[in-house]
């Protein structure tokens, strides 16, 4: 605190949505089309076309099974609160439970995992992105976390390990596509707000606040 004011740092860890952004293979790229333009029209307005799992986004159980909860049904308290960023940049490819055992993880925590995915960035799709294995997913679920944030467009191995995604979506609120490159390990306040939409996933704006 300085002069009676609390000094805060704000980190926007969500990806900018552009037509050129990296998307997971097989998913549609965003389209941003201007249908009203100044000076021809009184305003500038655009039509946005994008997949529900574009860029930084949240997933819901409806993503995996018909009749399950949609994004609009996710608990609001999973979108806000104190969070812990854990540095796993040393992990080469697969995150296992032993990589998480040294961290202080408590029931109800919001946990963000920073890997070398953030270091390499979202310039092109990473074929060998770091991902979680089943024992790591089970460890986080058994620890009782409420929200997990991961720094790539998928949390599981490409073309495999579907059970990793399933156990996380069924037991936590899962945010994907975070960019944690400029964020150090530590505690923050997490604010992640997806669009209120009755579908399987939704783009989100995610902000971290350091006090």
Give tens-digit pLDDT for 34-53. 999 999 999 999 999 999 99
Domain-located, residue 31 = no
pTM of the complete model: 0.94
Given a contact cutoff of 8 angstroms between Cβ atoms, the answer to whether 142 and 106 are in contact is no
* Residue whose token pair is 């997971």: 24
Judge whether residue 1 has pLDDT over 60: no
- Give phi and psi for 200, each to the nearest 5: -75, -20
Number of structural domains in the chain: 1
C-alpha 78/C-alpha 109 separation (Å) is 9
**Closest by CA position to 146, among listed 105, 204, 93, 89:** 105
What are the tens digits of pLDDT across the range 67-110? Answer: 899 999 999 999 999 999 999 999 999 999 999 999 999 999 99
Residue 96 within any structural domain of the chain:
yes
Residue 26 located in a structural domain? no
Instruction: Report pLDDT digits (tens) over 182-202.
Output: 999 999 999 999 999 999 999
CB of 102 closer than 8 Å to CB of 128: no
CA diameter of the chain: 61
What's 15's DSSP letter? Answer: P
User: 29: cis peptide before it, omega within 30°?
Assistant: no
Residue 190 lies in a domain: yes
Instruction: Express each pLDDT in 160-172 by its tens digit.
Output: 899 999 999 999 9
| Phi and psi at residue 210, to the nearest 5° | -110, 125
CATH code at position 134? 3.50.30.50
Q: Can you tell me the mean pLDDT for 127-156?
A: 97
pLDDT given for residue 4 in this prediction: 66
Q: Is the pLDDT confidence value at 2 over 60?
A: no
Is the preceding omega at residue 39 within 30 degrees of 0, hence cis? yes
110 inside domain: yes
4 versus 130: the higher-pLDDT residue is 130
Q: Is residue 35 part of a domain?
A: no
- The answer to whether the CB of 190 falls within 8 A of the CB of 130 is no
Q: Is position 27 within any domain?
A: no
Query: Per DSSP, which regions of the chain are E strands?
Result: 9-12, 31-36, 45-49, 57-59, 80-87, 94-95, 110-114, 131-132, 147-150, 173-176, 186-194, 201-210
Q: State the Cα–Cα distance between residues 8 and 52, nearest whole angstrom.
A: 32
Average pLDDT over residues 146-175: 96
Does residue 141 lie within any of the structural domains?
Answer: yes
77 lies in which domain range? 9-16+52-210
* Residue 159 pLDDT class (50, 70, 90 cuts): confident
């Amino acid at each position: 605190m300085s002069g009676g004011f609390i000094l805060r740092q704000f980190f926007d860890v969500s990806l900018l949505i552009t037509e050129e952004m990296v998307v997971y293979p097989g998913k549609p790229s965003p389209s941003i089309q201007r249908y009203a333009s100044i000076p021809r029209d009184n305003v500038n307005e655009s039509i946005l076309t994008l997949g529900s799992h574009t860029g930084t986004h949240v997933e819901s159980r409806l993503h995996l099974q018909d009749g399950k909860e949609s994004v609009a049904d996710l608990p609001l308290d999973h979108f806000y609160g104190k969070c812990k960023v854990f540095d796993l940049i040393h992990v080469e490819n697969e995150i296992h439970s032993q990589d998480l055992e040294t961290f202080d993880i408590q029931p109800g925590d919001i946990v963000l995992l920073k890997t070398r995915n953030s270091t390499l960035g979202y310039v092109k799709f990473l074929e060998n992105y770091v991902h979680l294995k089943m024992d790591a997913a089970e460890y986080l679920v058994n620890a009782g976390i409420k929200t997990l944030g991961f720094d790539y467009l998928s949390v599981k191995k490409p073309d495999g390990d579907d059970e990793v995604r399933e156990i996380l979506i069924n037991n936590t609120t899962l945010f994907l596509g975070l960019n944690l490159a400029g964020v150090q390990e530590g505690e923050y306040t997490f604010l992640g707000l997806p669009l209120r939409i009755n579908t399987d996933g939704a783009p989100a704006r995610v902000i971290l606040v350091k006090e």
